[in-house]
Amino acid sequence: MPVLLCGGCKGGINVGQRRIKCSCCNLVYHSECVNFNGDSPARASWKCPNCLAAQRKGGNNSNTPLRSSGPTPESIPEQLVMQGNSISTISPDNDTELVHGLALEHATVVELKSFIKSELEQFKQELIIETKRELTELRKDFADLAGSFQKCTEKVDNLEERVLRLESDWQQVSICTEKVDDLKERVLKLESGWDQTSVQGVNEHRELQSVVESLKVQLNQGEQEMLLNDVDITGLPESPNEDVTLVLTSVAAKLGVALSVGDIVSVRRVGSTLRNQVEGDLRPRPIVARFTRKALRDQLIKNARKRRITTTVDLGMPGESKRIYINERLTSFNRALFRKSRDMGQAKRWNRVWTRDGAIYVRSGSSKSESGHRIRSEMDLARFSSSTQPSPACGTVTDSRSAVA
């Protein structure tokens, strides 16, 4: 691309530099070389210092504002133009050369326009890229917000489901409580009206005693049905400020049962710490847990019985190894009745004493074909004991609850 040469300093004039063209000789100058700061109307009639000096009829030309000390304007009649590595000239008297100089100036203007167009195009591309990036980030933020809203909606739905389930359970509990209260009222009426010195005789006394025993059994069964989803864990070490829920889920995980917080209705330690004090050592209180489904409780007890022996060391707990018992939760009446059945089974050398779904069963012989006898009260235990004899062939009675350890 040809470059114009300044008529003053003889240096090249770049596209972006300010310039001024003489209206007489058509030479181009750097604006700085001729100190030109005029407006557009002045540019059209501007004359270079050489042309001004040539028009003077006399006077001193020493103050001409040219930075170059080169030859006089009369000796430079041509405009120098650099074309590659060669220098060509444009003579003001030659129309062809003048047209060529104008073409070069036009090319410079075209080059400037091309440069400005290129810069504008680059700015446009950068603006488009930046806008797309901002839109992408905005879409991502909206997607994250939508995901968070979806999770929040799922949590609310889950909470509503749990509330509905609790309301349903509470209705069942209320119904059972009403039945229990009714049975208690009937028992109190029978007990208050009971008179050992009644003249009605021994038969009436036995009949009333049987009715009371039957009512107690019904009351106990109602209470036991409310514990069908409960499990009783004893032997776990107790520490201050412990998270009982975390302890329960850890024990379940060791036994291969996956428990979540939503599967647990309640979990706590029961009993008094002072009552569990044995020879200066505090025995840990048992943990009682209630699950949302009976199947979870059954699976936990089943896996514990498969392990046969479960200790604190097996569960990764620090300290001395101690046995852990995991059983279904019984009412206070059934616990006492089960303890008596187990003691009598050891004395009578019965084959097995166990519980299933809150009910107590005993079996005297070792034959698997013999069905278990259900024990509902002490009267049932006494009748079964009187109908059996100690079996020398049977060893120590098998206790399904203690065998869970």
Q: What is the mean pLDDT of residues 132-155?
A: 91
Least confident of 35-49, 129-143, 261-275, 287-301: 35-49
Residue 52: HSE in the Cβ half-sphere, 13 Å Cα cutoff? 15
- When mean pLDDT is compared over 21-30, 103-112, 358-367, the highest value belongs to 21-30
How confident is residue 163, by pLDDT bands cut at 50, 70 and 90? very high
Digit-coded pLDDT (tens) for 368-383: 666 788 888 888 888 8
Q: How far apart are CA 42 and CA 38, in angstroms?
A: 6
* Beta strand segments in 270-386, E: 277-278, 281-282, 287-291, 325-328, 352-356, 359-363, 373-375
Contact in structure between 336 and 240 (CB atoms under 8 Å): no
pLDDT at residue 103, as a whole number: 66
State the pLDDT confidence band at 41, using cuts at 50, 70 and 90. low
CB 326 within 8 Å of CB 301? yes
Flag whether the pTM goes above 0.75: no
Average pLDDT over residues 62-87: 44
Q: Is the pLDDT of residue 4 over 50?
A: yes
Counting residues of the chain whose pLDDT is more than 70, the rounded percentage is: 75
CA distance 213 to 183: 12
63 has a pLDDT exceeding 60: no
